[in-house]
Structure 1
Amino acid sequence: MMDTEFPLQLPLKIDWSDLDYFGHVNNISYFRYIQAARVNYMEHIGLVESYSTEKKGPIVASCKCDFIQPLFYPGDITIRSKINFIKKTSFGIYHQIMNAKGEVAAEAQDVMVMFDFNQNTKSPITAELRETIEQLENKKIGKKPE
């Protein structure tokens, strides 16, 4: 089922190795889930290919996670992702990590900065990239976070 608010959803299984001493999913594992969702989003908008052909792509400037409720093994999760702002050289990806009951277990925010690895400097977000994101999101995206 397509979620119109979150155009990309990544289902994952909780692995036993994700647990901490207390028997719930370790905070580090949440960041691995977020990373998987981030890469999934970048693949969908062509940034993985852009890096391999032009050596331009996003770097992580910030990743913040708010833990709302614990996750446990065994279990299934879904990471829902959407872009919530686009600026001149950066954009934000908002994620929700959902438990198997459909409840929000964590909320995360990535800030990605476009980078030219040949020039070793930030690069502007192209009109084509903005258009690709807005088509996937099915909406215009402003400069300020929601």
Structure 2
Amino acid sequence: MRELLEGFPVVIELPVVWGEMDAFQHVNNVVYFRYFETARIAYFLEMNYMKIMEETGIGPILAATQCRYRFPLTYPDTISVGARVPALQEDRFTMEYRIVSHRHKRIAAEGDALVVSYDYRKNAKTALPERVRHHILRVEGRER
């Protein structure tokens, strides 16, 4: 199981709950984005992004996201959701996600997101603070 999430420095575990299933008897497609969001927030907490945002007013804003469904999840199951940042740019970074089913021992979905650095006090895009860049590299194990 761990090998399926190799390279993902932040991994969370979540139960698949009955209420996430839809009329087609599998987890509704929208729920996968909630799984991604939960992993994204876990990543942000790991890198102290919320504290930086509180101090500076500069934080993340989601610009785009997508999901590639590999097979349908169903209740009961437990999933692990991995998050990583493979690419940093001046004012944004890419996050990648992977959802692994414990019951089936395989990848259920993969996705990515474009996260832009946003100054919430000025309501404008801004450069990624050096502190944020440093913390991402630390979490990823790529410190300079």
Normalised by the size of structure 1, how large is the TM-score?
A: 0.90
Which of 134, 137, 141 matches 2:137? Answer: 134
**Aligned equivalents of 2:6, 2:73: Cα separation in 1:** 25
Consecutive unaligned residues of structure 2, counting only runs of 5 or more, are none
Find out whether 1:23 has 2:25 as its counterpart.
yes
Report what 2:10 is aligned to.
Answer: 8
Please identify runs of 4+ aligned residues in structure 1 that moved more than 3 A: 1-4
Report what 1:109 is aligned to.
Answer: 112
Amino acid at match of 2:86: N
Distance 1:24 1:4, change over 3 A: closer
Count of residues in Structure 1 that have an aligned counterpart in Structure 2: 141
Deviation, 1:54, is: 2.2
**Aligned equivalents of 2:135, 2:60: Cα separation in 1:** 15
Deviation, 1:55, is: 1.7
**Aligned equivalents of 2:124, 2:24: Cα separation in 1:** 43
The correspondence of residues 1-146 of structure 1 with structure 2, limited to 5 A, is 5-100=7-102, 101-139=104-142
**Aligned equivalents of 1:58, 1:48: Cα separation in 2:** 9
Cα deviation code 1:26-77 (max 9, x no counterpart): 0011011011011111111111112222221000000100101110101100
Identity %: 28
Deviation, 1:138, is: 1.0
**Aligned equivalents of 2:133, 2:70: Cα separation in 1:** 31
Deviation, 1:89, is: 0.4
Deviation, 1:120, is: 1.1
Cα deviation code 1:64-119 (max 9, x no counterpart): 00101110101100001110110000001100011014311000101100100111
**Aligned equivalents of 2:52, 2:131: Cα separation in 1:** 12
SS at structure 2 position matched to 1:22: coil
